[in-house]
Every structure is written in C-alpha cells, then in structure tokens.
Amino acid sequence: MMKTIVVVLSLSLTILSFGGAHAVKISFKNHCPYTVWPATLTSDGKPQLSTTGFKLASHGNFHLDTPVPWNGRFWARTGCSTDASGKFVCTTADCGSGQVTCNGKGGIPPATLAEFNIPAGRGQDFYDVSLVDGFNLPMSVTPHGGTGTCKTGSCPANVKAVCPSELQKKGSDGSVVACLSACVKFGTPQYCCTPPHETKEKCPPTHYSQIFHNACPNAYSYAYDDNKGLFTCNGGPNYDITFCP
C-alpha cells in the first residue's frame, strides 16, 4: 500500500499521494482574508483522493496529488465551525458529512466549483470554474507546464454583489453569503436544461445566467456554456487553484 507523507510548515501544508510521473499536482492557494475549508470529490464512483477536506488559513497553501486518469471537482466551504453536538458545519458549500473531510459527499449549493477531466495518457485535460451550482466565493484554475491554449478559468468577481434578491442566500445576520443559480433556486427545465430543454438549442442563456456571465466571463454561467467556460491544456500540466484570486 502506498504511504501518504504529510509535511507541515507554518501556513503551508503538503500531502503527497499517487506519486510518480503520472501524478498531477494540484496547488491550493487561499488569497481570501478569511479561512476556507476546501473539499474534494472524485466522480464516477472511483476512490477518493488522500484527503476529501481540509482547513486552509488566509494566505495558506496546500498541495495535493491526483492520479491519472482522474475526474472530479474541488470547492471551498466558508464560515465553518463545530457546533455544540460536535458536528462540523459550514455556512456555505457544506458537504453534510459533519466532519472536516467530506468522505465522498458533494458540496451543497450554492458553491463555486473547479472541475477537472484528466484523461489517461494526458493527451488533453479539460477544466473549468463553474457557477452552475451557484457562487460562494471567487476562484481560479491556472495550468502550469502544459502546451496549447492553457488559459486560466476563473471567477474573480464577487458575484454576491450583483446577485438578484430572489437568488440570494443569507446568513444568520442577514448578510448575503452566497448566490444561488437559477437552476438550484427554481429547478425548472428552462434553467436546468433538462427535458424538454435538454439541448443547447433548446436551452439558451437566461437573464440569470447572463448576470453570472457578465461578472465572470471565464467561468461556466449555466449548463451549456462550453464555448465560454470550458478550457483545455495538453502536455501534462499541473494546476493552481486560487481562492479569491
């Protein structure tokens, strides 16, 4: 069994796993003025990564390797604490595990997502920053060492500032803590691109997705935003995920 090596240096945390030439290094950077709790989810029922959730202080760094191939997502929870019963809970993007680790559970919308499809052979990676599940904090994904277009996918803006009142998620103090997507809020086919609106032609951008797109043109604003929000990189790059870039 491959061992996991943990190194702790000041605010910088490193977890090395899936070592070797076929590992992809994901470097997390928290530029937010507050602590976040990033989380990981491997798709398609495959084994989860060596950690599925961790604490990342303001200005902290964290390094995590993924295997190749790998398909999954990352996000960050905010406003987290342990309640009186000992359960770990978060104001936004909680995964509902009751722990810092999410253990295979996804984030509860609204949550800004970084999504990856890293194929065997690393011919062409696909990645994006998605607001399809809503927005809870700014995020970017930047490849390093690859070839091709290899652009940064990002949502650097504070979408909460332009979030329509009907999509706002508010905290216990009445402040806006996140912005729901129209699909999450209303659940209707025209916003979720489900039958009878299951194709790109039948599911054009809406007023709500346009608000997201105007704030973050390099992120997915709704399900069929491939030509604007989806990015590719060849040659086996590593990636930086930055919160509040």
Q: How many CB atoms lie within 10 A of CB 59?
A: 13
- Residue 181, exposed/middle/buried by CB under 10 A (0-12, 13-18, 19+)? buried
- Supply the CATH number for residue 79's domain: 2.60.110.10
Query: What confidence score (pLDDT) does residue 219 get?
Result: 97
Is the preceding omega at residue 196 within 30 degrees of 0, hence cis? yes
Whole-number Å distance between alpha carbons of 219 and 225: 8
- Coil, helix or strand at residue 142: strand
Secondary structure element (H or E) that encloses residue 155, with its range: strand 153-155
Whole-number Å distance between alpha carbons of 157 and 155: 6
Q: What is the domain count for the chain?
A: 1
Full-model pTM: 0.90
Residues spanned by the domain of 228: 5-243
Q: In the beta sheet, which residues pair with residue 10?
A: none
Phi, psi of 130 (to 5 degrees): -120, 135
Which residue numbers in the chain have pLDDT < 50? Answer: 1-20
Query: What confidence score (pLDDT) does residue 13 get?
Result: 40
> Quick check: 239 and 143 in contact, CB under 8 A?
yes
Per DSSP bridges, beta strands 125-130 and 139-144 are unpaired
Whole-number Å distance between alpha carbons of 146 and 33: 30
Structure tokens at 201: 């032609």
- The residue behind tokens 């052979």 is 121
